[in-house]
Amino acid sequence: MKSADKNDAPTAPASAAADYMRNFKNIIAPGAESSMTREFKPQVAYEFERYLNPQKLKHHVLKSEKLASLLEYYAQQTQQPLKQLQQQAQAIIDEIGLDRNMAIIRWCGIAITAIGKRICDGIYVNSASMANVRKDMGRCPVLYLPSHRSYMDFILMSYICYYYDIEIPGIAAGMDFHSMFGMGTMLRKTGAFFMRRSFSNDELYWDIFREYMYALVAHYHIGVEFFIEGTRSRNFKALVPKVGLLSMALLPYFTGDVPDVMIVPVSVAYERVLEEQLFVYELLGVPKPKESTKGFFKALKIIDERFGKMFLDFGEPISVREFFGHNGGERIRRAGISGSLQKLNRQEIDLVKQLATEIIYQQQRRIVISTFNLLSLYYASQLYGQRSVNIDELSRGILHLKRIFEQLGAHVSVSAKSIKADVIDAVEIHSNIVQFRVARLQFTPLAAEQLAAKIDMRRLKAHALSPATMAVAVPMLALQLYINPCLFWLARPAYLLLAALKQQRQQRSDISLGSYNETLAALHSHVATMDALFQHEFIVESNREAVEFETHLKLLLDEQVLHLDESNGNVKVQDNECSRVILAALAPFLCLYYQLALALRQWTHRGEFSSNELLVRVQQHVELLLQAPGAAAAHVHPYCLALDNLNIAILSFVQSGYLVKNRESGLMSIASNAPDKCLRQLELQLHEYCQLMPFTQYSTAASEQAQSHMAKL
């Protein structure tokens, strides 16, 4: 187990990348399946002389001195009888606590194997990285922290632990699952413990949950799994980490109750995500259905569809003690503080935030890039340039992208030997998004019942988009979702490329050129500006900026995108396939931020407004632009309608000072007293970046296809 190396440069030659992909084993291949009736003698996460069972764990929490002192405190504060508070505590612990029933676990395993074989082309696990995790187990508590793109993530981790004879971890689950008839009990008996989405002002619940989590980490042997992003990412890219659960899980380390904590970042990638269409409609404002047992069984209709391959990889285990650089003295001094009413101090919270960002970074580094990810990216770059593509052009473009991504250090599941067959298979799996027509790739038109579907207006999250808008937006958003995992690798190269385009424009208007070092400094500055603007959009902060800048500069030089004259610092940018692909990945986000700034400036409303009012305003603004004749409006992409990303952009505007948020009411207003935070200046800056793009209209082809289809209907 090692601490994360912050100077580790993400580079990997093609041969090493191919060797790495050979470590993935299909655990549901014929003959490779695990027997769910075999004796289960797992490696425990944390070894003790005597082990608690789930009931004894709850009893341990209820009878602890920590909880006793807490209940006495609340009895004094609320004037409630101590016995009544003890009964409340018992009920809360029963609501939270996990259970274990091997018969149910085995039955679930059999069901997962059967369903997996029917809908998947394989569940591929990096057996080498799993062995690396297993060898370090036993000495301290283990936290498994997977990326979160699907509800399948809950199931897969437990299934894989059983397969590799590792104790199935306790899994943090939301109360929406708890309330599902039958499902809540089944999940609990397979190791789920439940937490409310919001503790609100219920301080007793908060403290009891924290004590249960403390005991689960410090005194239980099975390991703990939770999602550091807090929720599924509906846009298939990493979210800003939530540090609440991680802070609770690390409290036993900070108090000195455990010698260390082992963090295992887990990367889960799906060739096709089960909830893909649900996410697209949610992003456009259509509310998701409430989780229910009936809905679960209704969702089983997916067994008639294909979802391709699933990939799971395990990052190098992170030693919390080594990552924080502790020698033990800091925690010994802190452990002397009396009782359990300890909470993390500001310095410790800052350390946890740094660790959380590193975990997200390691998760993204190991997410496998599929054929359809690269197909989507290449197709978008051609689509924005008003060009159509056939299978030969797609195959060549995908293999070119494979080389680029492997040079950056990504793991790509594309085989040059079977590229055409793989492209045909990827299109078949995603036939709800794209299809070949007359030998050219096109969007698949929405079915008539989708366009005519009734939406409950009372539950609508923002503006009611018209069927014509939905016909264009749905396929383009679906395509963008599969491009988004690539942004971890391409966001900063895109920043650098835009910086070079901006520098080239400035040099053309300024006859006196500077030096090579001055040009590099200017490029660094432009990249840092965009890093700050998109800091909540792309979670790439990693204290590796200098190393990554050199890696990305080398890529652009090798691909003949950039030429830097070392004698005078002159920059030349070549418009080629590589540059268009890189900029196509970033373009929808740049358009979204620009249209948000534009919509705010043009809004006649003055004074305070709610987040929902702003979302409605922006969606109305974008829809009008998309409906312009011939989709001729510039710098607008259907992705500008995506609510999750609009909320991220709004957060960025607030934290950057362009919007002011009232802490008490939650209402916002445009900043007016900060000259350096002028929204108009931001709009002009974003417009300049949009103009540097080799694209102007983004939805012309999709709009033409949608109009033709709707005319037939």
Residue 713 has a pLDDT of: 58
293 pLDDT band, cuts 50/70/90, is very low
* 103 has a pLDDT exceeding 70: yes
The rounded Cα 590 to chain-centroid distance in angstroms is: 19
Report yes or no: 297 and 333 within 8 Å, Cβ to Cβ: no
Cβ-based neighbours of 712, under 8 Å, separated by 6 or more: none
Cβ-based neighbours of 357, under 8 Å, separated by 6 or more: 241, 539, 541, 542
CA dihedral 199, 348, 58, 52 (to 10 degrees): 150
Report yes or no: 533 and 495 within 8 Å, Cβ to Cβ: no
Query: For residue range 403-439, what is the model confidence (pLDDT) as tens digits?
Result: 999 999 999 999 999 999 999 999 999 999 999 999 9
CA contacts within 13 A on the Cβ side of 398: 31
Q: How many CB atoms lie within 10 A of CB 176?
A: 14
Residue 343 has a pLDDT of: 78
Query: For residue range 120-130, what is the model confidence (pLDDT) as tens digits?
Result: 999 999 999 99
Helix (H) or strand (E) holding 661: strand 659-661
* 541 has a pLDDT exceeding 50: yes
* 604 has a pLDDT exceeding 70: yes
Average pLDDT for residues 383-408, to the nearest whole number?
96
Average pLDDT for residues 332-351, to the nearest whole number?
67
Residue 704 has a pLDDT of: 81
Average pLDDT for residues 463-470, to the nearest whole number?
90
CA 482 – CA 517 distance, rounded (Å)? 38
Query: For residue range 624-678, what is the model confidence (pLDDT) as tens digits?
Result: 999 988 667 899 999 999 999 999 999 999 999 999 999 999 999 998 876 667 8
CA 21 – CA 421 distance, rounded (Å)? 19
Average pLDDT for residues 90-109, to the nearest whole number?
95
Stretch among 167-176, 222-231, 630-639, 699-708 having the lowest mean pLDDT: 699-708
Angle between helices 700-712 and 467-483 (to 10 degrees): 130
CA 503 – CA 567 distance, rounded (Å)? 16
Cβ-based neighbours of 146, under 8 Å, separated by 6 or more: 153, 157, 225, 227, 266, 267, 268, 363
How big is the chain, counted in residues?
Answer: 713
The rounded Cα 316 to chain-centroid distance in angstroms is: 19
Report yes or no: 119 and 307 within 8 Å, Cβ to Cβ: yes
Residue 570 burial class via C-beta count within 10 angstroms: exposed 0-12, middle 13-18, buried 19 and up? middle
Stretch among 84-88, 257-261, 552-556, 564-568 having the lowest mean pLDDT: 564-568
List Cβ<8 Å contacts ≥24 apart for 291-298: 291/176, 291/177, 291/179, 291/180, 292/180, 292/181, 293/180, 293/181, 293/182, 293/183, 296/180, 296/183
Cβ-based neighbours of 688, under 8 Å, separated by 6 or more: 502
Structure tokens at 193: 């413990």
Residue 2 burial class via C-beta count within 10 angstroms: exposed 0-12, middle 13-18, buried 19 and up? exposed
The rounded Cα 55 to chain-centroid distance in angstroms is: 35
Query: For residue range 2-23, what is the model confidence (pLDDT) as tens digits?
Result: 555 544 444 445 678 888 999 9
CA 678 – CA 517 distance, rounded (Å)? 31
- Dmax over CA atoms of the chain, in Å, equals 83
Query: For residue range 484-517, what is the model confidence (pLDDT) as tens digits?
Result: 999 999 999 999 999 999 999 988 887 666 789 9
Strands (E) across 473-631 are located at: 562-564, 571-573
pTM score, two decimals? 0.93
CA 642 – CA 596 distance, rounded (Å)? 12
Helix, strand and coil content of the chain, in percent to the nearest 5, comes to 55, 10, 35
CA 18 – CA 28 distance, rounded (Å)? 22
Average pLDDT for residues 177-199, to the nearest whole number?
81
364: closest CA among 146, 555, 213? 146
CA 494 – CA 497 distance, rounded (Å)? 5
* 83 has a pLDDT exceeding 90: yes
* 161 has a pLDDT exceeding 80: yes
Domains of the chain (ranges, CATH numbers): 52-366 (3.40.1130), 369-473 (no CATH), 486-574 (1.10.10), 586-711 (1.10.10)
CA 580 – CA 631 distance, rounded (Å)? 21
CA 141 – CA 321 distance, rounded (Å)? 12
141 pLDDT band, cuts 50/70/90, is very high
CA 256 – CA 332 distance, rounded (Å)? 6
Residue 84 has a pLDDT of: 95
Q: Alpha helices, DSSP H only, in 120-165?
A: 127-135, 152-163
DSSP SS3 for 531:
helix
CA 428 – CA 375 distance, rounded (Å)? 13
448 pLDDT band, cuts 50/70/90, is low
Structure tokens at 393: 């052009």
CA dihedral 574, 576, 582, 584 (to 10 degrees): 110
CA 7 – CA 407 distance, rounded (Å)? 17
Average pLDDT, the chain: 90
CA 419 – CA 398 distance, rounded (Å)? 8
Residue 11 has a pLDDT of: 45
Residue 544 has a pLDDT of: 86
147: closest CA among 25, 230, 263? 230
Average pLDDT for residues 157-180, to the nearest whole number?
89
Q: What percent of the chain has pLDDT over 70?
A: 89
Residue 449 has a pLDDT of: 65
* 157 has a pLDDT exceeding 70: yes
